[in-house]
Amino acid sequence: MSNRKIPYKIHLSEEETPKAWFNVRADMKTGHRPMLHPATLRPVAAEDLNPVFCRELVRQELNDQDRFIEIPPEVWDFYKMYRPSPLVRAYCLEEALGTPARIYYKYEGGNTSGSHKLNSAIAQAYYAKKQGLIGVTTETGAGQWGTALSMACGYFGLECRVYMVKISEQQKPYRKGVMETYGAKVTPSPSDTTNIGRKILAENPETGGSLGCAISEAVEAAVTTEGFRYVLGSVLNQVLLHQSIIGLEARAALEKYGEYPDVVIGCAGGGSNLGGLMAPYMADRLAGKKAPRFIAVEPASCPSLTRGRFAYDFCDTGMVTPLAKMYTLGAGFMPAPNHAGGLRYHGMSPIISQLYHDGHIDEARAVGQVRVFEAAAMFARIEGILPAPESGHAIRVALDEALKCKETGEKKTILFGLSGTGSYDLAAYMQYNEGSLEDHIPTDEDLEKGFAGLPKVD
Amino acid sequence: MSNRKIPYKIHLSEEETPKAWFNVRADMKTGHRPMLHPATLRPVAAEDLNPVFCRELVRQELNDQDRFIEIPPEVWDFYKMYRPSPLVRAYCLEEALGTPARIYYKYEGGNTSGSHKLNSAIAQAYYAKKQGLIGVTTETGAGQWGTALSMACGYFGLECRVYMVKISEQQKPYRKGVMETYGAKVTPSPSDTTNIGRKILAENPETGGSLGCAISEAVEAAVTTEGFRYVLGSVLNQVLLHQSIIGLEARAALEKYGEYPDVVIGCAGGGSNLGGLMAPYMADRLAGKKAPRFIAVEPASCPSLTRGRFAYDFCDTGMVTPLAKMYTLGAGFMPAPNHAGGLRYHGMSPIISQLYHDGHIDEARAVGQVRVFEAAAMFARIEGILPAPESGHAIRVALDEALKCKETGEKKTILFGLSGTGSYDLAAYMQYNEGSLEDHIPTDEDLEKGFAGLPKVD
């Protein structure tokens, strides 16, 4: 039994647990450009957003002043049931790699929803309840966000209407099952419950649906149903705000043992997980202090940061949402079928995009899924946790950084985000086990097609 | 935010974590009757068991002297990655029920295998590795034990051959997928890799297999393959020993806040979870001190304690194993399809059986699955964890006890075991959600058929 000074899992007591979210926007000297109204192309104001989103969430969305926003007691009571999430020193992995690096990971997959999405879902459901709403609508593809929101609504006694991409609903009946167990109403999209759904069905009755279509249906259902609003699980500022709990807990835990990361690594699809993990350390960077090197990891099949354009674009494929200034492949870009469903998004959080554009996020790295699954399967055996394919992207780069340290002898401290469990992704692991997994790298021509659809706005 | 003296989750530091398993047999004045060799009907000795099981595990199986057995450092290193498991004060549930009772649960479902089975799997794999074996064989039905063992073997670099009931292998491809990701070789049973498998296939080529057949194949494969032994995930004394970590941690956590349970509740199929949870408190009972009331909860569809016979019987349906004195429905009893696969066992751990026979386990209660799923779904919404159907049995009785306290005004302290996650059981929840779940209660005639097959031994 090793007598190690730092335990395998660093624990935070309730007293040590963060009581407020951290709003990184307050520290950004160059704020990101405002969202634009899709019809007027003028910056959206609260009154534009209030019919769609809960009032308090709109305030948070537009808030670039307050550094800390108190976590409501009712949300904290829920957090306490599954948080603080484990901050793990990966001793077994370090030993297996023979690296002098110290590797830490923050594991968000231990709750029933299986990912970090619950951190924002419970906050959004709380504000909806507080506003006296009857319920919320949303869309879900793979099902992580829909599951998290169903749990949150079940807890607060809110109605939850989930538009689930039809092909996913057919392929993942159990995801639907868990949402229904938490009381959600799951509708395969496109459906005949909305105008946009009926229109799409009329044009193409056999379609399996798409996330863009599900978003459009969920928004329409929200604005046309009394007492309902629409909620979203990534990309938005409010979501990154709520997800800051990940980084705040990680930092509090590491500071108990005098640890400060040299490198912070997170996978990035819409940006909620990386944005949350890095937030409190980004504050150091923005204040000109010593700070970690930040690495965003994205799938080579959907490389918005590494190969996208920094431009105004729609947040959805259906092109009904406001325009955001972000790294994007174009709202019409169709990523190849890749197993990290949570990273298959054409754009990137405006906060992450601006920080990357300004050089505060040091590096974006695109990795192919075969090397991702190699790393994920290795991690599963050594550290006893089967990672979500999304999280596997962060693991891949953490391994590569640790192996670099082995070559150079550097004793770097590496922190990465393990955002979810792979328990719902076994079809992908089985393909990997059989050796039939392939990488899908878009050609420059593929990308040009996506860019061609970008709105002409600057 | 409530300022509660006792936190939602009571944490144990590495120093406070138990370093030895507790062997309840050492405290039992009436030991359970010895296992008998199926051919000679004489008590089995180490030399009978050594060809089948690892040497050190045989020692543990027969050890009724040592109260504490040190957890090997290598096992402790693995435990530290996922243990201590959460000991949760169910504040939200107490509030929802309006009960004066204080409810605690020990949650074992947060690890990748999804249940408490990993606690024994890692120990058994370690002893196999230490003995210099190449690998181990086992059977699995629903897949919890197979997954846990695959993880343990993956960690120690042992070969793992799992005979999986063919119908389960077809219905649960993802369970097979996770085992293979951890490097296990999964063979649908019956198979043509063993004599017994070939015999069964010849007689009935279309059979979907059974746990009894899979056990027989796994044992045959172990004894006929150089460097292999057979391992088992429940029923045996060694398994209850390893699972005592559950109860030891729970007790250490509760004692930090001066809490002592009035009632301890666990579901019981083979008995590994209840046996582990109650072990350190049972020591108080056996020493004549103040002790909790112990309640074993079993499915009404497979009621070994409440309606079975206390008799010598085979541990497997195939009737090749030694005979154990236990509460049993007869090795030939075929329980109706019930969703708590882990509780669908005809017998019961000899330790649990003897303690119940001697009145040290105060009560066994059989509950129908409809009321179990009602409780499980309610718990999921209120406490944010989707329980395994097996664990739902304990929840059902914990709720009933808490509601009794509401009537009487008693402020009892209730501790129950939440042995696993329901993430792999959504087909069952979906049936419950649709209202198509039914109870299957065996008639007295059904039970008589099972008893008729009991061997004539006493």
Q: Give B184-221 pLDDT, tens digit per residue.
A: 999 999 999 999 999 989 999 998 888 888 988 999 99
- Same domain flag for B248 and B206: no
> Looking at beta carbons, which residues of chain A come within 8 Å of B8?
14, 80-81
- CA–CA distance, B107 with B428 (Å, rounded to integer): 21
The verdict on residue B395 lying in a domain is yes
For the stretch B396-406, pLDDT in tens is 999 999 999 99
Neighboring chain B residues of A421 at a CB cutoff of 8 Å:
112
Chain A interface, mutation test: which of B13, B103, B249, B386, most A Cβ atoms within 10 Å? B386
Continuous segment of H or E residues that includes residue A298: strand A293-299
Closest residue by Cα to residue A57 from A127, A130, A116:
A127
Residue A355 shares a structural domain with residue A311 = yes
User: How many Cβ pairs within 8 Å bridge chains A and B?
Assistant: 145
Nearest to B14 among A7, A82, A427 (CB): A7
In the predicted structure, residue A2 carries a pLDDT above the cut 60: no
Distance from CA of B348 to the nearest CA of A (A): 30
Within chain B, what is the greatest distance between any pair of CA atoms? Answer: 67
The answer to whether residues B108 and B416 touch, using CB atoms and an 8 Å cutoff, is: no
Residue A245 sits in a domain whose CATH number is: 3.40.50.1100
How far B184 CA lies from chain A's nearest CA (Å)?
A: 11
pLDDT attached to residue B422 = 93
Cβ atoms of A292 and A298 within 8 Å: the answer is: no
Q: Kindly state whether residue B134 falls inside one of the protein's structural domains.
A: yes
Q: Which of B179, B199, B230 is the last residue of a domain?
A: B230
The alpha carbon of residue B338 is apart from the nearest alpha carbon of chain A, in Å, by: 18
DSSP for B107-123, please give it.
E---STT-BTTHHHHHH
Does the distance separating the beta carbons of B77 and A2 come in below 8 Å?
Answer: yes
Domain-embedded: residue B22: no
CB contact under 8 A, A380 and B181: yes
What percentage of chain A has pLDDT greater than the value 70? 99
- The token pair at B253 is 């956590």
Asked if residue A259 and residue A382 are part of one domain, the reply reads yes
Confidence tier at B172 by pLDDT (50, 70, 90): confident
pLDDT at B1 exceeding the cut of 60 = no
Q: Which two tokens stand for residue B302?
A: 């497979």
Task: Please determine, for residue A157, whether its predicted confidence score (pLDDT) is greater than 90.
Answer: yes
Residue B385 · residue A112 · CB < 8 Å: yes
For residue B3, what pLDDT is reported?
53
Domain assignment of residue B457, yes or no: no
Domain co-membership, B37 together with B96 = no
Residue B276 lies in a domain: yes
Which has more pLDDT, B335 or B290?
Answer: B290
> At which of B199, B230, B261 does a domain end?
B230
pLDDT at residue A248 in the model:
98
Shortest Cα–Cα distance, A354 to chain B (Å): 36
Per-residue model confidence as pLDDT tens digits over A166-216: 988 888 888 999 999 999 999 999 999 999 999 989 999 998 888 888 988
pLDDT tier for residue B124 given thresholds of 50, 70 and 90: very high
Whether B386 sits inside 8 A of A178 (CB atoms) is yes
Same domain, A191 and A226: yes
d(CA A141, CA A424): 13
Mean pLDDT of A449-458: 91
Closest by Cβ to A112, choosing from B77, B154, B384: B384
Query: How far is it, in rounded angstroms, from Cα A146 to Cα A137?
Result: 10
Query: What stretches of B108-195 adopt beta strand conformation (E)?
Result: 135-140, 159-165, 185-189
Assign A10 to helix, strand or coil.
strand
> Do A106 and A159 have their domain in common?
no
Average pLDDT, integer, range A239-245: 98
CB contact under 8 A, B385 and A112: yes
Chain A closest-CA separation from residue B153 CA (Å): 9
Q: Are residues A38 and A157 in the same domain?
A: yes
Pairwise CB contact (< 8 Å): A155 & B381:
yes
Q: For tokens 């030939």, what's the residue?
A: B332
From the list B18, B21, B28, the residue with the least C-alpha distance to B361 is: B28
Shared-domain flag, residues B174 and B254? no
Q: Tell me how far apart the alpha carbons of residues B299 and B302 are, in angstroms, rounded to a whole number.
A: 5
**Interchain contact, B77 vs A92, CB within 8 Å:** yes
- Please state the pTM of the whole predicted model: 0.95
pLDDT at B362 over 80: yes
- Gap between the Cα atoms of A165 and B362, Å rounded: 51
User: Over 50: is that where the pLDDT of A139 sits?
Assistant: yes
Q: How confident is the model at residue B21 (pLDDT cuts 50, 70, 90)?
A: very high
The beta-carbon neighbor of B11 closest among A11, A73, A91 is A11
Indicate the average pLDDT of chain B: 94
Between the alpha carbon of residue A343 and those of residues A172, A390, B40, the distances in Å are: 18, 6, 63
User: What percent of the residues of chain B are helix, what percent strand, and what percent coil, each to the nearest 5?
Assistant: 45, 15, 40
Do B325 and B380 sit in the same domain of this protein? Answer: yes
Determine whether A18 is exposed, middle or buried from the number of CB atoms within 10 Å of its CB (0-12, 13-18, 19+).
Answer: buried
Which of A81, A427, A432 comes nearest B8 by C-beta? A81
Among residues B201, B230, B259, which one ends one of the domains?
B230
User: Cβ contact (<8 Å) for B430 and A8?
Assistant: no
In a domain, A364, yes or no: yes
Backbone phi and psi for residue A219, each to the nearest 5 degrees, phi listed first: -65, -45
CB contact under 8 A, A77 and B2: yes
Chain A positions touching B424 (Cβ under 8 A) are 423
Order across the sheet with B185-189: list the strands.
B185-189, B159-165, B135-140, B228-230
Residue in chain A closest to B5 (alpha carbons) equals: A14
Determine the pLDDT at residue A207: 86
Q: Which of A73, A177, A432 has its CB closest to that of B430?
A: A177
DSSP class of residue B329? S
Q: How large is the average pLDDT for residues A137-158?
A: 95
Instruction: Return the structure tokens found at B434.
Output: 């649709």
Q: What is the pLDDT of residue A171?
A: 81
Does one domain contain both A209 and A143? yes
Q: What does the pLDDT average to over A390-411?
A: 98
Shared domain check, A119 and A107: no
Residue B367's beta-bridge partner residues? B299
> CB–CB of B9 and A80 under 8 A?
yes
CA A73 to chain centre: 24
Compare CB distances from B76 to A1, A91, A176 and report the shortest one's residue. A1
CB–CB contact A385 B112 (8 Å): yes
For A54-63, A257-266, B30-39, B58-67, which range has the lowest pLDDT when averaged over its residues? B30-39
Q: What is the pLDDT of residue B336?
A: 79
Between the ranges A11-15, A95-99, B211-215, where is the mean pLDDT highest?
A95-99
Mean per-residue pLDDT over chain A, rounded: 94
Angle value at C-alpha B336, between B334 and B341, nearest 5 degrees: 90
b vs e for A366-397, b when ≥16 Cβ sit within 10 Å of the residue's Cβ? bbbbebbbbbbbbbbbbbbbbbbbbbbbbbbb
Q: What is the pLDDT of residue A1?
A: 40
Between B336 and B392, the more confident residue is B392
Q: Can you give the pLDDT at residue A187? A: 97
Q: At what angle do helices B237-256 and B118-130 cross, to 10 degrees?
A: 130
Which residues lie closer than 8 Å to A415 by C-beta, 6 or more apart? A104, A105, A106, A250, A254, A261, A263, A264, A265, A277, A292
- Under DSSP, the state recorded for A162 is E
In a domain, A197, yes or no: yes
How distant is the Cα of A7 from the closest Cα of chain B, in angstroms?
7
% of residues, chain B, pLDDT over 70: 99
Percent of all residues in chain A with a pLDDT value above 90, rounded to a whole number: 85
Same domain, yes or no, for A401 and A273? Answer: yes
Inter-chain CB proximity A384 and B111 less than 8 Å: yes
Suggest the residue from B373, B378, B381 to mutate for an interface test with chain A (most A CBs closer than 10 A). B381
**Helix, strand and coil in chain A, % to nearest 5:** 45, 15, 40
**pLDDT recorded at residue A3:** 54
| 3-state class (DSSP) for residue B135 | strand
Residues 6+ apart with CB under 8 A from A258: none
Q: Is residue B458 part of a domain?
A: no
Top-confidence residue, A207 or A451: A451
Quote the pLDDT of residue A335.
81
Residue A42: which domain range? 33-70+115-230
pLDDT category, B318, cuts 50, 70, 90? Answer: confident
Angle value at C-alpha B25, between B19 and B27, nearest 5 degrees: 90
- Number of structural domains (chain A) is 2
Distance, in Å, from the CA atom of A126 to the CA atom of B255, rounded to the nearest integer, reads 35
